[in-house]
Each structure stands twice: as C-alpha cells, then as structure tokens.
Structure 1
Amino acid sequence: MTAVRGAFTALIHSRAERHSLLEDAQGIVAGSMLAVLGVALLQGAGLFTGGTAGAAFLLHYATGLSFGACFFAINLPFAYLAYRRLGMGFTLKTFAAIALTALLSEVVPAQLGLARVDPLVGGLFGGLAIGAGMLALFRHRASLGGIGILAVYIQDRFGFRAGLVQLGFDAVILAFAVFLASPFIILCSVLGALVLNLTIAVNHRKDRYIAF
C-alpha cells in the first residue's frame, strides 16, 4: 500500500524545483502537438527549417519518403549522446517526444487541410509553433532530438543559449536547401528558422526556470 501511495504521489504532485510525472507527460504531449502544427505549416508552404527536422525535410523533399519516418530515423543515432550526456530520464522523455511527433506528423497535417500555405505566413507561424513546442519540451527536460539534444547539452555544460547554438547548426542545414528550392522559399525558410530559434533564445534560460 505504501508503494502504491508513493507512486500516486509522484504521478500528481510536484514541487517548485521538480515536475510531477503527470506534468512531464502533459508537457511532452503539448510540446509535440505544437511542433507538429509547425511542421504542417512549413510542409504546406514547401519550406525547410533547421535541426533534425530540417534534415528530415531535406530527405522528404528529395526522396518522397514521409517526413515522420525520416524524422524518426535521423534522430535514432543521437539517443546514445542523450543517454551519456544528459541521463536516462532526459533520453526516455526525448524519445517519447520524437516518437509522438513522428507519429502525429503522419496523420495531423492531412487533417488540418493545409495543402497550400503562403510561404511567408508558413515561415513565421510555423517557426513560432515549433519554437514554442521545443520550449515546452526543454522545460520538462526533453527535446525533439538531434541538434536539440546537443544544444541543451552545450547550454548546460558551457552556458551558451540553446537557441543560439541551434541557430548555427540550422544555417548549415538550410544552406543545402538551395539545391531544392527557389530563393524566395529559402528566404522564408530562413525567416522561420530565425523565429524558431529566437523564441527559444529569449524564453529558455536555465537561471530563470529551475524546475526539472
């Protein structure tokens, strides 16, 4: 009975410095849903972005493979880094976020009916939605994998803001998009990536948000 009571307490109760399991689950689901909304907007506009999502878009546009499958596969090699550098808890929550995002991205975009989105609108709102989703995940000690894992590790280890670290990697990934899209699409993609990373850089600071 004591063990059951302890498990129930961990599920629903939190402290100022620690989220409960239920809060973590809510944060992972909400963050993944926001990210998928952003992916749907970018996909409807034919745009790219940075990080492993950007790499998945490149592979998706170049080969015709589904975005969700590409996103999941690209993130698998980063699981070891997550485990070694950021612990089992971070790894499990991140894997859950990656799997949920990949799964929802297979279903949700078609249900939203966003087949034709203005590239400028898609870049602005898609970048903001993904940034907000990643922010929610970061605050529950999770990420969307890949570069996000590396960005959070570098912030925790060296103090550089995660959003600015990811911005540097995004610039490299977006550079490859010039072989697949027009200059206007690239410009809107860059704008979306800036919005995404500035959202994280402005709002995610370890010294302001202490819960984990």
Structure 2
Amino acid sequence: MKKIINILLGCLILSIGVLILRHSHLVTGGTVGLSLSFSYIFNLPFTLLFFIINIPFYIFSFIQMGWKFTVSTILAVTIVSMLTSVDQFIPAFNMNPLAGAIIGGIINGFGLSILFLNKASLGGLNILALFLQKKCNWNPGKVNFVFDCLVVLSGIYFIGALKGMLSILSIFFTSSIISFYKKKIANSIQSEQDKEMYKVKSKVIAN
C-alpha cells in the first residue's frame, strides 16, 4: 500500500512539473519530452501521445526488468496521462521560460526520484537508464541527462534555440536531483533482485 501511495505522489509531482514546462513552452527528455514536442508539432493531446510512445518500451521492460517493474511503470504512465489531461480544463496561461525551466526541472527531478525509489518509472528512456544502472552500475541521473539532451536537441528546430537551451537547463536540474538519490535507487533495485532470487531458490529447494 505504501508503494502505491508513493507512486501516486511521484506521479502527481511529475504532472505538475510537466504542466509547468508545457505552459513555459519548453520540452524535457525521454518520452515526456518527445510527447511534448509532438504535441506542439501535430497539435495533438500530450496524454494520447505519451501513452502511445511508451508501448514499445513496455515490451523491453517486461523482458529486461521483470513484470512487477513493468506493471508499476504502466500504472505510473497511466496516472500521469490522466493527471496531465486536466490541462484542458485549466485557464490558458503562459509562464516565464527561465522560471519554468528551473521550477519544472526541479519538480520533475523529485517526481522521477520517487518513482525510481519505488521500482517504477515513466517508461521510455527511464527504463533504459535504470537497466544500465542495474547491469553496468551507471549513474541513472547522468544517463538520463545524455538521453534527454538528445531528445531536446532533436526538437530545437520546433521550439527555437533559446527555449532549447532552457530545456537543457531544466533537465540538468532534473538529472542532478536523480543523481543525488542514485545510491538509494541502486539499493532499491538490488533489494528487489535479492527478493526475486530468494523466491527462485525457495522454489528450487521446494521441488
């Protein structure tokens, strides 16, 4: 129950961060960033694009990270999609891009860290970052930053150079906060692996 409450909290925090970035006309990394970029380009709902883009990554997650992590991730993506859909009912407003980059980046960093600590993610490149930490002990914050920069750079043509640089500033704050929690995230992933190994050994002994 505690895990579900924490995932809900992480999703709520992330949704606020995403809406701040959207109303600052900025993007972020991962599938969130791709979805924001595509929503600007095609004028389609972020919620729909975010859910569709994540589908291929669910398959990878199931194979490499296990069904529990995958289910938690699908739950998180679905909740964030639902929470950000309230944007259509919010009166239109614009936020200063610099303030949006800093505030949105920090909020997203805390939201993602909460999800990672509870063995969930927002799908997409988050899954790859956690997989590389699991297999290679790579810093998930730095890996996210590299991936996210590539996503932002691919969308600079549509949002402009200045807002592109501010978007990179935003993911710098996000990645810095994730890096701060990297040891706790690694321990969380390891503890889950230990539990799975214990269950497998117990079944083998029982048989």
TM bracket, shorter-chain basis: 0.7 to 0.9
Shift of 1:182: 2.4
Q: Which runs of 5+ in 1 are unaligned?
A: 1-21
Report whether the alignment pairs 1:159 with 2:137. Answer: yes
Stretch deviating more after TM superposition (170-179 or 54-63)? 170-179
Higher helix residue share? 2
For 1:95 and 1:188, how far apart are their aligned partners in 2? Answer: 29
Q: Which runs of 5+ in 2 are unaligned?
A: 193-207
For 2:55 and 2:72, how far apart are their aligned partners in 1? Answer: 14
Change (3 A) 1:91 1:208: closer
Shift of 1:203: 1.7
Q: Which amino acid aligns with 1:100?
A: I
Task: State the partner residue of 2:174.
Answer: 196
Identity across matched positions, percent:
27
Task: State the partner residue of 2:148.
Answer: 170
Shift of 1:80: 1.0
Task: State the partner residue of 1:126.
Answer: 104
Among 55, 63, 82, which residue is 1:103 paired with? 82
2:109·2:173 contact (CA, 8 Å) conserved in 1? yes
Report whether the alignment pairs 1:40 with 2:19. Answer: yes
Number of residues of Structure 1 aligned to a counterpart in Structure 2: 190
**Alignment of structure 1 residues 1-212 onto 2, 5 Å:** 22-107=1-86, 109-110=87-88, 113=91, 115-205=93-183, 206=185, 212=192
Shift of 1:166: 1.2
Shift of 1:111: 5.4
Stretch deviating more after TM superposition (109-118 or 54-63)? 109-118
CA RMSD of aligned residues (A): 1.6
1:50·1:171 contact (CA, 8 Å) conserved in 2? yes
When the two structures are superposed, what TM-score results if normalisation uses the length of structure 1?
Answer: 0.85
When the two structures are superposed, what TM-score results if normalisation uses the length of structure 2?
Answer: 0.87
Per-residue Cα deviation, 1:116-174 (whole angstroms, up to 9, x for no partner): 11001110111111111110000110000000011001001100011111111111111
2:37·2:155 contact (CA, 8 Å) conserved in 1? yes
Q: Give structure 1 regions of 4+ aligned residues with deviation exceeding 3 angstroms.
A: 109-114, 206-212
Shift of 1:204: 2.4
